[in-house]
Structure 1
Amino acid sequence: MVFGLFRQKASARVAPLYEGLMRASRQPAFYAGLGVADSVEGRLEMLMLHVGLAVHRLSREAAGRETARHLSEVFIDDMERSLREIGYDDSGLKRRLKKVVGAFYGRAEATAAALGSDRPAALADTLARNIYGGAADPRHVACLADYVRGFARRLDDTSVDELVAGALPSLMPSSIPAGEPAIPDLEP
């Protein structure tokens, strides 16, 4: 019982951060302008991307490691709740949740590695595979990669306390007009 109470307090502490990441992942420009599938899967991919970026940023700082763990737990609890709501029974839920959690950690690692890579196309390749399933307009992928780099930089510039309070960097993904180069708006 004591551990359950502690987990509830930890979840409540990171709730503003998780809610902010969820809002960031639901920006219409991802779906209407950058070709991300406006489906359960597409929205899950964008949520995993944003939560993964925040977990990566928090994990790099001693003061943020526990918060990163709590944020991951809140994400997993939310996924379990969502799967139950759409009708998974206990046996199906366990299998599906295991896949979602594996995908989350795998994608978070791949994105972090791509952000740190010396290979310029590493992030675009990772996003094309994970967000778009390999088939995407290269301009959309380039724009999303620019957004991810900008969002990650702004997370780095935000303190752990500010992140926990839900003070996420404001960054709008840019959409690409037909025939135009991919130049995202990175102004605050």
Structure 2
Amino acid sequence: MNPTIEAILVEWGQQQASPIGEVAVPCVLGHVDEAAPGVGGHRCLSLVEQHVVQSQLSEAVAQALAEIDAQGSKGRELTALAEVRYVAQVMLPLAEQYLRLACSRNTYRARLNRLHAELLEVLPGAAMMAALEAKGVQAEKVRAKWLAEVRKAARRTEPAIALAQQRARMQREVARAIKEAADRERAA
């Protein structure tokens, strides 16, 4: 579990769960309206800047999660985990999260680690795209080039992932065979 990604997801979840939260520095002109109607007001000076920062973070994480979600059933499992774990007024106990996701503790931990690893790869690009779009740069061209590079890197790692999955299957089969042999020996 990556502490930086965890902090980003916690912040994103809080923004998703209660998007109206505001912190502001009062404007010195706030009380002028009381003295002379139509002048001044109670607006704050830092509200706009804070909203922009929250929106960029939220959009970057949402874009990254959408890319992960588009990867198929495994991606949808990870986005469901992000929603259950981070988007709540009060963080649910882990046992409740296991129930909502219909998985065991070990599966939950594996998915959480995979979510963090995926976001670590995808989020910097998503954050870069959000910054480019805010500046008005033709982000689609940059995004297409970036996605091509990510897909190329993913294709290079596919054989290693397939080999690791094959080894894990073989280890499970060996463990089952040993268990069955031990059960037969006890029964005899």
TM-score range, shorter chain: under 0.3
Q: Which has the higher contact order (CA 8 A, sep 6+)?
A: 1
TM-score normalised by the chain length of structure 2 = 0.28
TM-score normalised by the chain length of structure 1 = 0.28
Which structure: larger Rg?
2
